[in-house]
């Protein structure tokens, strides 16, 4: 089994395809998984376990708890995570973030951003050019109606 903090490295180990569009896809996958690996490291360091991470995400209103059902946690596991976050003072018993919980989530997202920046910095000016070229394409995809209105990533 691949550990969560190894997904970027695992994708990098796959090697590079020959076709330009697949090279772009592989590079984007590595960058996405690098961010995800950093997010998990930041979450664990901040004291969130995996289920608490999702419960806290729902508690700040980023996504409805029902949307996260696909992640496989049982109702009992979800409630236990909510109880732990409530005992910590990060959520109310009803599942809403407290100010301390919202602050913990904001700090987690800030740390995730900090951990994700290194590969982008190594790209130098190419990163800005990529954003300039890919931005309109990303907007067209987002506005196409092909993607779900809500997702486990809180993309809306």
DSSP string, 110-127: HHHHHHHHHHHHHHTHHH
Here the tokens at position 29 are: 């996958």
Here the tokens at position 100 are: 């301390």
Asked whether residue 153 is domain-assigned, the answer is no
Q: What pLDDT shows up at residue 138?
A: 85
Asked whether residue 96 is domain-assigned, the answer is yes
Q: What pLDDT shows up at residue 4?
A: 52
Here the tokens at position 12 are: 């990098």
Q: What pLDDT shows up at residue 53?
A: 94
Q: What pLDDT shows up at residue 47?
A: 92
pTM (two decimals): 0.81
Residues in the chain where the model's pLDDT stays below 50:
1-2, 156
Q: Which of 35, 114, 8, 150 is nearest to 106 (CA)?
A: 114
- Between CA 30 and CA 24 the distance in angstroms is 10
How many domains are contained in the chain? 1
- Between CA 42 and CA 53 the distance in angstroms is 11
Q: Which of 27, 31, 88, 8 is nearest to 56 (CA)?
A: 88
Q: What pLDDT shows up at residue 1?
A: 41
Asked whether residue 103 is domain-assigned, the answer is yes
Asked whether residue 69 is domain-assigned, the answer is yes
- Between CA 153 and CA 122 the distance in angstroms is 26
Asked whether residue 98 is domain-assigned, the answer is yes
Domain hosting residue 74, numbered range: 4-142
Asked whether residue 40 is domain-assigned, the answer is yes
Given a contact cutoff of 8 angstroms between Cβ atoms, the answer to whether 46 and 76 are in contact is: no
Quick: pLDDT tens for 86-102.
Answer: 999 999 999 999 999 99
Asked whether residue 152 is domain-assigned, the answer is no
Asked whether residue 138 is domain-assigned, the answer is yes
């Amino acid at each position: 089994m691949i550990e969560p903090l190894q997904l970027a490295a695992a994708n990098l180990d796959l090697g590079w395809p020959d076709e330009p569009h697949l090279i772009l896809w592989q590079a984007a996958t590595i960058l996405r998984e690098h961010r995800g690996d950093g997010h998990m490291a930041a979450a664990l360091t901040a004291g969130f376990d995996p289920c608490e991470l999702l419960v806290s995400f729902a508690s700040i209103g980023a996504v409805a708890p029902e949307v996260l059902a696909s992640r496989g946690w049982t109702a009992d596991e979800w409630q236990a995570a909510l109880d732990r976050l409530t005992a910590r003072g990060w959520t109310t018993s009803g599942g809403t973030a407290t100010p301390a919980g919202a602050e913990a989530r904001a700090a987690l997202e800030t740390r995730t951003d900090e951990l994700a920046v290194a590969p982008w910095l190594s790209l130098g000016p190419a990163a800005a050019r990529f954003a300039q070229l890919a931005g309109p394409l990303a907007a067209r995809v987002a506005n196409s109606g092909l993607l779900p209105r809500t997702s486990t990533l809180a993309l809306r």
